[in-house]
């Protein structure tokens, strides 16, 4: 049976970008305000899951051809290595640093190494959530 | 800088993730695993020596000083267990190189074995109660995967029970943590200890202590062991060996840490409750070990008896008994590793599980038979093997503390252990052989080597107890004098 989901498909096309933007916003604001890699990752993965629900798995895979299990593992490696970097420099494991840089366009910007750690967390969350959803959907 | 302290947890984690990407090539996975395991053993040894030189080490993650940050603390007790766990898991994983089905190797067997090791090492090293919970979860999640890997009706049924019981236990753990934080306002172990001592261990704190006791008893198989025989006897040899050698010991370690460092003020909990639980555990374990004819069940009940015996040392509560328990913990990791590997091998070779169905294996597999005999003697605590020294110190401690009943139960259990193991040895290895030379399944030397090395270790720990003694004494000294631990963690902060 083919469902009539024109409205859902049309809305999704627009909404996915809003969700993705919101996810990135949450991820970046996490440094000083509520948010961060975990929540940002959850929101980002909800956009992907919405795509999987509305279109089918094969179609989405053509657009996003990643093995999400590997993305999860890759994210965890990034997080671990960002902590190890401090150890290599002789600081306690997981020490984070930050500095202010004068960038073009952005002006004076605070850049912190914790963003790398959070990026790893976000990737792990995305990879894990999508893997879980895909594995559950396969069995049904 | 003490960054070396994080390596026993970091290295297995990183290895696990790297192995994830090496999935297509099983050979590359094995090479990376082996190198990483060797490095792990070297690091653990180095930590132990640094502790004996420099005293208790601590590493504040991210430079956040305790009690505000999370930290790893390495004292002799943790370092000894990390070293033993690393050596034993290295040998068991080396064994599984040749004994694991291709299907399981493709389904991320090695990465999860490494995550298990990471969780175990992290639990030994952490100095923060919440971090202990996290490390427990890392270890348990890996164990959920390993126990279900490969499937099969019996295993899935057993793993459902295992997962359910552990999820409930983890929930209790969280509740206990919440109570603890609500009562003393901190989760740093040393800081908790200071505050409990200042406030006095009143009814509320004793209740929290009992909840922790229930949690760790569930994990260790102390008194609340009903889930253990089923779930330890269903997975294949190497996985069962990893579980039996490492998992319950982490529960026992956590119990020692909690009740020697933080909640040592209440004699009723220490002596009566823990002592009773230990005695009941030993007696029930003995009944199980004698009653069953399935060799995997007998081996699992031997795990329970050993847990009861180690906790006897905690119930006796003096330095001598702690020393015995530390020795016995080290011994038990090694000996349960061998026992479960041999039992797994016997099941693999004969395709049978009951002692009544096997006989005469010594003609087919003499080396395996004699290794089982060695294990039997080691388990029973016959000198000069590794079990003896631990039992002796626990006995000395019990005499010193006047706990003659505990002493009697502990030593009487040795006889039952000896009987239950000899039953396996005599029924399965003596008598008419059931396997023709032609049908005999080959048991490659590559598999025997890790078991034999473990066998050499159990002799080595017994004979070389003198060399281990300074480290073990130091571990027991810190347990008997919590101030040493507290000073090492909070000393510089308060001054």
Three-state secondary structure along A23-65? HHHHHHHCCCCCCCHHHHHHHHHHHHHHHHHHCCHHHHHHHCC
pLDDT at A102: 82
Tabulate helix, strand, coil % of chain B (nearest 5). 80, 5, 15
Q: Do B14 and A77 touch (CB under 8 A)?
A: yes
- For chain A, say whether B11 makes contact (Cβ under 8 Å): no
Chain A residues inside the 8 Å CB shell of B61: 92-94
From the list A80, A81, A93, the residue facing B61 with the nearest CB is A93
pLDDT (0 to 100) of residue A86: 83
Nearest residue, CB atoms, B1 vs list A83, A90, A94: A90
Of the partner residues B3, B20, B21, the one whose CB lies closest to the CB of residue A93? B3
One DSSP character per residue, B400-451 reads HHT-HHHHHHHHHHHHHHHHHHHHHHHHHHSSS--S-TTTPPP--HHHHHHH
B58 — phi, psi (to 5°)? -145, 150
CB distance from B10 to chain A under 8 Å?
Answer: yes
Does A92 contact B21 at a Cβ distance shorter than 8 Å? no
Interface contacts (A, B; CB < 8 Å): 46
Q: How far is CA B128 from CA B45, B79, B337, B467, in A?
A: 23, 16, 29, 31
Do the Cβ atoms of B17 and A76 come within 8 Å?
yes
The b-or-e profile of B160-187 (16+ CB within 10 A means b, else e) is: eebbebbeebbebbeebbebbeebbebb
* Separation in Å, CA of A107 to nearest CA in chain B: 29
Q: Which of B35-39, B344-348, B409-413, B432-436 has the lowest mean pLDDT?
A: B432-436
Q: Cα separation of B199 and A30, whole Å?
A: 38
Please give the pLDDT value at position B1: 67
Percent of chain B with pLDDT over 70: 99
- Residue B314 near residue B259 (C-beta atoms within 8 A): yes
pLDDT tens-digit profile of B310-349? 999 999 989 999 999 999 999 999 999 999 999 999 988 8
User: Domain segments of chain B: what residues?
Assistant: 267-463
What letters, b where the CB count within 10 A reaches 16 and e where it falls short, cover B123-154?
bbbbbbbbbbbebbebbbbbbbbbbbbbeeee
Per residue in B364-411, pLDDT (tens digit) is 888 899 999 999 999 998 888 888 999 999 999 999 988 899 999 989
Instruction: Give the global pTM.
Output: 0.93
Task: Enumerate the residues of chain B whose CB falls inside 8 A of the CB of residue A74.
Answer: 17, 21
**Would you state the pLDDT for residue B269?**
80
For testing contact with chain A, the best of B14, B17, B127 (most A CBs within 10 A): B17
B149 dihedral zone (left: phi>0; alpha: psi -120 to 50; beta): beta
**Cα A138 from Cα B385, distance rounded (Å):** 53
CA separation for the pair B434, B358 (Å, rounded): 7
Coil, strand or helix: which one is A3? coil
B294 strand-pairing partners = B354
Q: How many CB atoms lie within 10 A of CB A62?
A: 8
Q: Are B245 and B89 in contact (CB under 8 A)?
A: yes
CA atoms within 13 A on the CB side of B138: 25
Say if residue B185 is preceded by a cis peptide, omega within 30 of 0: no
Tokens 């040998």 correspond to what residue?
A: B91
Q: Which of residues 44-73 of B touch A (CB under 8 A)?
A: 59-63
Mutation target vs B (from A86, A94, A96, A128; most B CBs, 10 A cutoff)? A94
B200: left (phi over 0), alpha (psi -120 to 50) or beta: left
Nearest to A96 among B14, B17, B62 (CB): B62
Count of other CB atoms within 10 angstroms of residue B194: 21
Judged by a CB distance cut-off of 8 A, whether residue B24 touches chain A is: no
Lowest mean pLDDT of A120-129, B144-153, B175-184, B271-280, name the range.
B144-153
- Give the whole-angstrom CA distance, residue A11 versus residue A21: 16
Give every CB contact of residue B324 below 8 A, 6+ residues apart in sequence.
B313, B389, B390, B391, B392, B393, B394, B395, B396, B397
Of B364 and B416, which is predicted with more confidence?
Answer: B416
What does the alpha-carbon distance between residue A104 and residue B278 come to, in Å, rounded to a whole number?
Answer: 68
Other beta carbons within 10 Å of B199: 12
Q: Which pLDDT belongs to residue B189?
A: 93
Q: Which residues of A lie inside 8 Å of B (Cβ-Cβ)?
A: 69-70, 73-74, 76-77, 80-81, 83-84, 86-87, 90-96
Indicate if the pLDDT at residue B447 is higher than 90. no
What is the per-residue pLDDT for A2? 60
**Helix, strand, coil content of chain A in percent (nearest 5):** 70, 10, 25
- Which of B375, B346, B374 minimizes the C-alpha distance to B361? B346
Chain A residues in contact with B21 (beta carbon < 8 A): 70, 73-74
The CA distance from B4 to the nearest CA of chain A, in Å, is 9
- Give which of A93, A96, A116 to mutate to test B binding, by max B Cβ within 10 Å: A93
**pLDDT for the residue numbered B329:** 95
pLDDT bin (cut points 50, 70, 90) of residue B495 is very low
pLDDT at A140 over 70: no
CA angle (B460 as vertex; B311, B252 as ends), nearest 5: 15
Confirm if B8 and B86 have CB atoms less than 8 A apart: yes
Evaluate if residue B440 carries a pLDDT over 90. no
- Closest Cβ opposite residue A92 in set B13, B17, B61: B61
- CA distances (Å), origin A102, targets A29, A106, A110: 19, 8, 9
Q: Which three-class secondary structure state does DSSP give residue B185?
A: coil
pLDDT band with cut points at 50, 70 and 90 for residue B259: very high
Summarised one tens digit per residue, pLDDT across range B169-223 is 999 999 999 999 999 999 999 999 999 999 888 888 999 999 999 999 999 999 9
Rounded CA separation B6/B76 (Å): 15
Are A95 and B1 in contact (CB < 8 Å)?
no
Which pLDDT value is given to residue A139?
A: 60
Confidence of residue B494 (pLDDT cuts 50, 70, 90): very low
Tokens of A138: 């396969």
Closest Cα in chain B, distance from residue A15 (Å): 34
Q: Kindly provide the b/e burial profile for residues B442-452, where b requires at least 16 CB atoms within 10 angstroms of the residue's own CB.
A: eeeeebbebbb
Q: Do B21 and A73 touch (CB under 8 A)?
A: yes
Crossing angle of helices B386-401 and B319-350, in 10° steps, is: 140
**Structure token pair of residue B166:** 């552990």
Contact at CB, A77 and B60, closer than 8 angstroms: no
Per-residue pLDDT tens for A41-98?
999 999 999 998 888 888 888 888 888 889 999 999 999 998 888 888 888 888 888 8
Q: Which residue of A has its CA nearest to B62?
A: A95
| Lookup: tokens for A52 | 């999987």
* Buried-exposed string B324-359: b where 16+ CB fall within 10 A, e elsewhere: bbbbbbbbbbbbbbbbbbbbbbbbebbeebebeebb
* Predicted confidence (pLDDT) at residue B34 exceeds the cutoff of 50: yes
What is the interface pTM, i.e. ipTM, of the complex?
A: 0.87
Chain A residue with the nearest C-alpha to that of B22: A70
Question: Are residues A76 and B1, on separate chains, in Cβ contact within 8 Å?
Answer: no
pLDDT of residue B492: 63
Q: Is B383 helix (H, G, I), strand (E, B) or coil?
A: coil
Spatial CA neighbour of A129 closest among A47, A54, A74, A56: A47
Q: Which tokens sit at A19? A: 């969700």
Q: Where are the alpha helices (DSSP H) in B22-75?
A: 26-54
């Amino acid at each position: 049976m083919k469902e009539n989901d024109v409205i859902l498909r049309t809305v999704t096309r627009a909404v996915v970008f809003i969700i993705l933007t919101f996810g990135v916003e949450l991820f970046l604001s996490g440094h000083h305000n509520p948010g961060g890699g975990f929540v940002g990752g959850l929101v980002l993965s909800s956009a992907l899951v919405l795509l999987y629900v509305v279109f089918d798995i094969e179609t989405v895979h053509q657009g996003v051809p990643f093995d999400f299990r590997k993305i999860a593992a890759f994210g965890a490696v990034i997080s671990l290595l960002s902590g190890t970097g401090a150890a290599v420099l002789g600081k306690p494991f997981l020490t984070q640093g930050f500095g202010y840089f004068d960038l073009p366009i952005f002006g004076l910007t605070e850049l912190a190494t914790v963003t790398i750690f959070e990026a790893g967390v976000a990737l792990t969350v995305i990879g894990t959530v999508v893997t879980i959803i895909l594995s559950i959907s396969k069995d049904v | 800088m003490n960054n070396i302290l994080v390596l026993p947890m970091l290295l297995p984690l990183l290895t696990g993730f790297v192995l994830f990407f090496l999935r297509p090539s099983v050979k590359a996975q094995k090479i990376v695993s082996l190198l990483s395991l060797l490095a792990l053993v070297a690091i653990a040894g180095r930590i132990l020596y640094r502790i004996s030189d420099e005293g208790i080490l601590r590493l504040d993650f991210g430079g956040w000083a305790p009690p505000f940050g999370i930290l790893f603390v390495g004292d002799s007790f943790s370092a000894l267990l990390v070293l033993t766990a690393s050596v034993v898991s290295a040998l068991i994983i080396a064994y599984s190189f040749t004994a694991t089905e291709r299907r399981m190797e493709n389904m991320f067997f090695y990465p999860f074995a490494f995550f298990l090791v990471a969780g175990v090492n992290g639990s030994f090293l952490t100095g923060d109660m919440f971090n202990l919970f996290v490390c427990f979860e890392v270890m348990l999640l890996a164990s959920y995967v390993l126990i279900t890997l490969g499937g099969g009706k019996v295993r899935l049924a057993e793993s459902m029970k295992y997962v359910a019981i552990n999820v409930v236990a983890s929930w209790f753990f969280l509740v206990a943590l919440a109570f603890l934080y609500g009562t003393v306002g901190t989760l740093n172990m040393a800081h908790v200890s200071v505050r409990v001592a200042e406030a006095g261990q009143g009814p509320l704190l004793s209740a929290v202590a009992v909840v922790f006791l229930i949690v760790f008893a569930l994990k260790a198989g102390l008194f609340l062991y009903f889930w253990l025989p089923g779930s330890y006897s269903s997975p294949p040899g190497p996985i069962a060996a990893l579980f039996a050698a490492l998992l319950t010991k982490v529960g026992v370690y956590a119990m020692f840490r909690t009740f020697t460092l933080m909640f040592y003020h209440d004699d009723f909990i220490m002596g009566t409750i823990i002592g009773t639980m230990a005695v009941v555990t030993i007696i029930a374990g003995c009944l199980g070990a004698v009653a069953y004819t399935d060799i995997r069940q007998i081996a699992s009940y031997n795990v329970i008896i050993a847990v009861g015996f180690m906790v006897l040392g905690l119930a006796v509560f003096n330095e001598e008994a702690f020393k015995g328990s530390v020795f016995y913990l080290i011994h038990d990791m090694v000996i349960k590793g061998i026992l479960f590997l041999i039992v797994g091998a016997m099941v693999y070779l004969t395709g049978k599980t009951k002692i009544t169905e096997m006989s005469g294996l010594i003609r087919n597999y003499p080396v395996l038979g004699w290794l089982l005999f060695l294990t039997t003697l080691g388990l029973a605590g016959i000198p000069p093997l590794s079990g003896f020294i631990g039992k002796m110190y626990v006995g000395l401690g019990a005499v010193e503390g006047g706990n003659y009943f505990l002493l009697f139960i502990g030593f009487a259990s040795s006889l039952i252990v000896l009987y239950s193991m000899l039953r396996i040895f005599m029924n399965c290895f003596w008598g008419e052989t059931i396997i023709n030379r032609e049908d005999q399944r080959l048991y490659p030397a590559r598999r025997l080597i890790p078991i034999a090395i473990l066998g050499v270790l159990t002799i080595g720990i017994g004979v070389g107890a003198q060399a281990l003694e300074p480290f073990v004494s130091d571990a027991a000294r810190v347990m008997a004098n919590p101030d040493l631990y507290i000073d090492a963690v909070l000393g510089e902060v308060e001054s």
